[in-house]
């Protein structure tokens, strides 16, 4: 560079150029999940997760780790995965004063009741999370937890029902 | 550095770009969580690497958030359960939460929180919290919640002191340093800068409209995959940045600023604060647009999206718009058709479709664009007058400031007689009328035109007319009941005046320009041929 161009000009140019690149408006989609969205997913029943979040929770180990940490911090109850020796389908789980049971519907064999019962707790859970080992997260909004229990009718084909029946899943109520 | 490495670099930079875009798009209760001005501050902090002090402030805020939390060992509520990141929301959250706080470490006043440790205190203003909240979002989104939470838990779990908080801040700063070292690579921008310098033979003072056009014609068809100079507007903004960088570096040398650089910095590094000041300085003219779309000014729709978009190129160029007026017009007029071509190319449309788009040409001519600027200038003037009326309706003292800005030579003598004042030429109106006592009288008087003389009465009549003609958000709200709205009209009017002056200066410059083709119509026809020919070479050569 000649004397007319001070050597610091390049450093200043890098800064200005980076600023433009990083802040310019773009229509290009990206697959980054902001922490605000993760927090809303973990705490708000009315939050509708974006496809990007759903995909990232299946494939991004760091994001799964972050969500797990957040859920454990705010959980009302956790029911850790069943013992390694367990086999077959799980229909009942319990932990931290709550019991979760899957009970087939008498009226329709394609439907099943998910019963959440509080044994000795005053807290009312509003969300149920199921984390499969090396698999996706599932989330269910508990809309009506009344008088220590909730009864939610689901399809037997529902992913969360299938996941709850697996031994190697963690269940978190918040 | 080879093309492949440059592309890899570009990927790393895209990751950081995605993080910042995610933050700017974050919503809470259906509104943006962070204002454009807060997002800009965050971007500045990142590229200028001035994050060390804000990270320390953030760590102190985490201590406050922890103490105010309704649940033990949590700090998240202050950041994600207080609504959009506005000072007023943080103020409200802190006042409510402090009522239930049991410790004696925190105190609160109208401006912010004070925290007292055994080895000293620290104060954080509510007005600072939105930026710190954005920084928090950045840390957790870019570096991950678990890693950052580990640092905060260690800090909060120990004996809290100014020293322990500083140590946590240093640990965080080191993580950010390492992240940015990887995600803010310099090779690509170095290549851009050097290519431009080579083209102007290291003489940025020689850069003019024709040189930029020549460069674009050459570089846009260059096969160099590392640097993309295909679009004319990106070429123009790179030239503008190159000129600004050289001029700032010259100022730095003139100030002998380099000698103030800390001994620990590597040779050639520049004090981050100087970089930050430089960015503020070159953004001075675009900054009003950001402020107008951020709280509290966004309560009034002074400019809509399209109007702001029309002004971005012009204001973004700063003073250089007057040096490169034709390039600004070229970018304004030909960016849209080029964007259409880029989108069509992404959709993998056939060559004959691309040729059709090229043949359609731009939607406006240079003369159309000048009319657009004139219309914008007129709209802005109406908005300032309307703001004046709104302020008068609210009986705000700011009425006087806006009035004086609109017409510094206004004849205040009838008014001063009425108020029993003596106005002499060497006694500025500003000094006398800014006293609260006088202003109280003044506000009452300006609404009765028979008391204030012809000049003021005319000004206020124009103001009322402008107000009646505007039905945008904020202009029909009950301004006297809202101090925030009064503030928005007052600040907004001052910023709009700056924008109006910039537009006027640019229009004057266009009037004076000596066009190579003789007049605007011929210049446009000539440029249309040049741009369409170049688009054909770039996109439709197959």
Do A93 and A138 lie in one domain? The reply is: yes
Give the whole-angstrom CA distance, residue B276 versus residue B262.
16
Give the whole-angstrom CA distance, residue A45 versus residue A20.
37
pLDDT of residue B429 exceeding 50, the answer is no
When scoring B11, B189, B236, B276 by the number of chain A Cβ atoms within 10 A, the one with the most, hence best to mutate, is: B189
Which residues face A128 on adjacent strands?
A140, A173
Q: Do A33 and B22 touch (CB under 8 A)?
A: yes
Do A97 and A108 lie in one domain? The reply is: yes
- Nearest by CB to residue B193, choosing from A10, A23, A65, is A10
Give the whole-angstrom CA distance, residue B443 versus residue B456.
12
What's the pLDDT band for B126 if we cut at 50, 70, 90? very high
Q: Do B40 and A23 touch (CB under 8 A)?
A: yes
* pLDDT digit string, tens, across residues B34-64: 999 999 999 999 999 999 999 999 999 999 9
Q: Is B156 helix (H, G, I), strand (E, B) or coil?
A: helix
pLDDT of residue B72 exceeding 90, the answer is no
Provide mean pLDDT across the span A30-50. 91
The DSSP code sequence of B444-504 is: HHHTSHHHHHHHHHHHHHHHHHHHHT--STTTTS-GGG-HHHHHHHHHHHHHHHHHHHHHH
Q: Do A12 and B270 touch (CB under 8 A)?
A: yes
Which of A74, A109, A130 is the last residue before a domain boundary?
A74
Long-range contacts of the stretch B187-191 (C-beta < 8 A, 24+): B187/B1, B187/B5, B187/B6, B187/B9, B188/B6, B188/B9, B188/B10, B188/B13, B188/B226, B188/B227, B189/A13, B189/A14, B189/A17, B189/A18, B190/A10, B190/A14, B191/B1, B191/B6, B191/B226, B191/B227
Do A70 and A109 lie in one domain? The reply is: no
Do A35 and A61 lie in one domain? The reply is: yes
What's the pLDDT band for B456 if we cut at 50, 70, 90? confident
Residue B194's CB: how many other CB atoms inside 10 A? 16
Q: Do B245 and A37 touch (CB under 8 A)?
A: no
Do B140 and B253 lie in one domain? The reply is: no
* pLDDT digit string, tens, across residues A142-169: 988 888 899 999 999 999 999 999 888 9
Whether the CB of B153 is below 8 Å from some CB of chain A: the reply is no
- Which single residue is written with the structure tokens 């973990």? A42
Q: Do B268 and A74 touch (CB under 8 A)?
A: no
Q: When comparing pLDDT for A2 and A5, which is higher?
A: A5
Do B248 and B164 lie in one domain? The reply is: no
Q: What is the pLDDT of residue B10?
A: 56
- Which single residue is written with the structure tokens 């908005």? B383
Q: What is the pLDDT of residue B12?
A: 58
Interface of A with B (CB under 8 A): 1-2, 4-23, 26, 30-40, 43, 62, 65-66, 69-70, 73-74
Q: What is the pLDDT of residue B212?
A: 98
Which of B158, B183, B208 is the last residue before a domain boundary?
B183
Mode of pairing for the β-strands spanning A149-155 and A169-173: unpaired
What's the pLDDT band for A29 if we cut at 50, 70, 90? low
Kindly state whether residue B303 falls inside one of the protein's structural domains: no
pLDDT of residue B217 exceeding 90, the answer is yes
Q: When comparing pLDDT for B520 and B404, which is higher?
A: B520
Long-range contacts of the stretch B111-117 (C-beta < 8 A, 24+): B113/B64, B115/B60, B115/B63, B115/B64, B115/B67, B117/B160, B117/B161, B117/B162, B117/B165
Chain B contacts of A14, Cβ < 8 Å?
186, 189-190, 193
Which of A8, A43, A74 is the last residue before a domain boundary?
A74
pLDDT of residue A26 exceeding 80, the answer is no
pLDDT of residue B21 exceeding 50, the answer is yes
* A28 token code pair: 């290009």
Do B9 and B109 lie in one domain? The reply is: yes
Chain A contacts of B76, Cβ < 8 Å?
39, 73
Q: What is the pLDDT of residue A168?
A: 85
Kindly state whether residue A35 falls inside one of the protein's structural domains: yes
pLDDT, averaged across chain B: 88
When scoring B80, B142, B340 by the number of chain A Cβ atoms within 10 A, the one with the most, hence best to mutate, is: B80
Phi/psi at B240 (5° precision): -60, -45
- Nearest by CB to residue B141, choosing from A1, A21, A34, is A34
Provide mean pLDDT across the span B510-522. 95
The nearest CA of chain A is from the CA of B142 a distance in Å of: 8
- Nearest by CB to residue B145, choosing from A1, A13, A70, is A70
Question: Which of A86-100, B446-460, B472-486 bottoms out in mean pLDDT, i.e. has the lowest?
Answer: B446-460
Do A49 and A130 lie in one domain? The reply is: no
Chain A residue with the nearest C-alpha to that of B253: A6
Long-range contacts of the stretch B426-434 (C-beta < 8 A, 24+): B429/B404, B430/B404, B433/B400, B433/B404, B434/B397, B434/B400, B434/B401
pLDDT of residue B331 exceeding 50, the answer is yes
Do B336 and B468 lie in one domain? The reply is: yes
Whether the CB of B31 is below 8 Å from some CB of chain A: the reply is no
Which of A11, A41, A74 is the last residue before a domain boundary?
A74
Kindly state whether residue A120 falls inside one of the protein's structural domains: yes
Number of domains in chain A: 2
Kindly state whether residue A37 falls inside one of the protein's structural domains: yes
Question: Which of A78-82, A128-132, B236-240 bottoms out in mean pLDDT, i.e. has the lowest?
Answer: A78-82
What's the pLDDT band for A58 if we cut at 50, 70, 90? confident
Chain A contacts of B258, Cβ < 8 Å?
8
Whether the CB of B320 is below 8 Å from some CB of chain A: the reply is no
Q: Do A38 and B39 touch (CB under 8 A)?
A: no
Q: What is the pLDDT of residue B304?
A: 94
Do A87 and A48 lie in one domain? The reply is: no
Q: Are B200 and B211 in contact (CB under 8 A)?
A: yes
Kindly state whether residue B306 falls inside one of the protein's structural domains: no
* B365 token code pair: 């001519």
Chain B contacts of A4, Cβ < 8 Å?
202-205, 246
The nearest CA of chain B is from the CA of A27 a distance in Å of: 10
Q: What is the pLDDT of residue B397?
A: 77
Q: What is the pLDDT of residue B222?
A: 86
Give the whole-angstrom CA distance, residue B92 versus residue B295.
16
CA distances from B435 to B397, B398, B431, B438 (A): 9, 11, 7, 6
Do A81 and A60 lie in one domain? The reply is: no
Of B74, B79, B65, give the one whose Cα is nearest residue B33: B79
Question: Which of A95-104, B54-63, B77-86, B251-260 bottoms out in mean pLDDT, i.e. has the lowest?
Answer: B251-260
Do B254 and B370 lie in one domain? The reply is: no
CA distances from A44 to A142, B144, B173, B362, B413 (A): 11, 20, 32, 47, 62
What's the pLDDT band for B441 if we cut at 50, 70, 90? low
What's the pLDDT band for B463 if we cut at 50, 70, 90? very high
Number of domains in chain B: 3
Chain A contacts of B28, Cβ < 8 Å?
36, 40
Whether the CB of B39 is below 8 Å from some CB of chain A: the reply is yes
Do B58 and B114 lie in one domain? The reply is: yes
Residue-number span of the structural domain to which B157 is assigned: 3-183
Residue-number span of the structural domain to which A119 is assigned: 76-173
Query: What pTM does this model have?
Result: 0.87
Give the whole-angstrom CA distance, residue B275 versus residue B273.
5
What's the pLDDT band for B422 if we cut at 50, 70, 90? very low
Residue A63's CB: how many other CB atoms inside 10 A? 21
Q: What is the pLDDT of residue B104?
A: 81
Give the whole-angstrom CA distance, residue A100 versus residue A95.
9
Count Cβ–Cβ pairs < 8 Å, chain A vs chain B: 151
């Amino acid at each position: 560079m000649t004397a007319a161009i001070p050597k610091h000009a390049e450093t200043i140019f890098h800064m200005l150029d980076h600023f433009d690149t990083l802040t310019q408006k773009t229509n290009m989609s990206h697959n980054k999940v902001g922490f605000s969205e993760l927090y809303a997913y973990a705490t708000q029943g009315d939050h509708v997760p974006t496809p990007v979040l759903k995909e990232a929770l299946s494939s991004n180990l760091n994001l799964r780790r972050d969500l797990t940490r957040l859920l454990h911090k705010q959980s009302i109850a956790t029911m850790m995965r069943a013992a390694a020796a367990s086999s077959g389908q799980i229909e009942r789980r319990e932990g931290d004063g709550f019991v979760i049971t899957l009970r087939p519907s008498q009226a329709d064999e394609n439907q099943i009741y998910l019963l959440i019962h509080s044994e000795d707790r005053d807290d009312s859970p509003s969300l149920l999370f199921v984390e499969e080992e090396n698999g996706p997260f599932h989330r269910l909004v508990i809309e009506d937890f009344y008088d220590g229990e909730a009864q939610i009718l689901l399809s037997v084909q529902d992913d969360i029902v299938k996941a709850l029946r697996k031994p190697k899943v963690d269940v978190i109520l918040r | 550095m080879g093309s492949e490495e440059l592309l890899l670099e570009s990927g790393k930079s895209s990751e950081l770009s995605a993080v910042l875009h995610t933050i700017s798009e974050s919503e809470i209760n259906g509104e943006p969580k962070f204002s454009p001005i807060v997002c800009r501050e965050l971007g500045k902090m990142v590229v200028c690497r001035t994050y060390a002090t804000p990270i320390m402030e953030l760590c102190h805020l985490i201590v406050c958030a922890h103490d105010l939390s309704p649940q033990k060992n949590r700090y998240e509520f202050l950041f994600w359960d207080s609504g959009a990141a506005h000072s007023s929301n943080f103020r409200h959250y802190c006042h409510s939460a402090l009522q239930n706080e049991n410790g004696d470490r925190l105190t609160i006043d109208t401006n912010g929180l004070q925290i007292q440790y055994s080895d000293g205190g620290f104060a954080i203003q509510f007005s600072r919290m939105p930026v710190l909240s954005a920084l928090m979002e950045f840390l957790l989104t870019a570096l991950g919640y678990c890693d950052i939470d580990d640092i905060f838990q260690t800090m909060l779990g120990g004996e809290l002191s100014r020293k322990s908080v500083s140590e946590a801040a240093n640990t965080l700063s080191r993580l950010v340093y390492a992240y940015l070292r990887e995600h803010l690579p310099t090779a690509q921008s170095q290549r851009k800068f050097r290519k431009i310098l080579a083209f102007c033979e290291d003489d940025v003072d020689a850069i003019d409209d024709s040189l930029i056009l020549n460069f674009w014609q050459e570089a846009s068809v260059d096969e160099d995959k590392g640097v993309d100079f295909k679009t004319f507007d990106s070429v123009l903004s790179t030239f503008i940045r190159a000129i600004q960088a050289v001029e700032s570096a010259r100022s730095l040398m003139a100030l002998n600023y380099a000698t103030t650089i800390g001994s620990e910095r590597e040779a050639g590094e520049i004090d981050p604060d100087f970089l930050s000041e430089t960015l503020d300085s070159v953004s001075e003219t675009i900054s009003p647009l950001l402020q107008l779309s951020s709280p509290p000014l966004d309560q009034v729709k002074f400019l809509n999206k399209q109007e702001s978009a029309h002004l971005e190129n012009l204001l973004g160029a700063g003073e250089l718009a007057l040096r490169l007026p034709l390039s600004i017009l070229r970018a304004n007029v030909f960016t849209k058709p080029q964007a259409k071509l880029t989108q069509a190319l992404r959709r993998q449309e056939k060559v004959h479709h691309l040729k059709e788009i090229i043949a359609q040409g731009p939607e406006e001519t240079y003369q159309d664009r000048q009319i657009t600027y004139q219309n914008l200038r007129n709209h802005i003037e109406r908005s300032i007058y309307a703001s004046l009326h709104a302020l008068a309706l609210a009986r705000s003292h700011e009425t006087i400031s806006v009035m004086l800005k609109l017409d510094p030579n206004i004849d205040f003598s009838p008014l001063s007689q009425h108020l029993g004042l003596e106005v002499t030429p060497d006694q500025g109106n500003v000094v006398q009328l800014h006293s609260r006592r006088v202003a109280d009288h003044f506000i009452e008087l300006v609404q009765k035109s028979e008391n204030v003389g012809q000049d003021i009465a005319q000004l206020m009549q124009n103001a009322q007319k402008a107000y009646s003609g505007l039905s945008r958000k904020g202009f029909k709200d009950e301004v006297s009941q809202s101090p925030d709205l009064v503030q928005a009209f007052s600040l907004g009017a001052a910023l709009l005046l700056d924008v109006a002056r910039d537009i006027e200066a640019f229009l004057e410059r266009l009037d004076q320009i000596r066009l190579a083709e003789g007049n605007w119509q011929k210049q446009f026809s000539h440029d249309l041929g040049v741009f369409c020919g170049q688009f054909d070479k770039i996109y439709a050569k197959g």
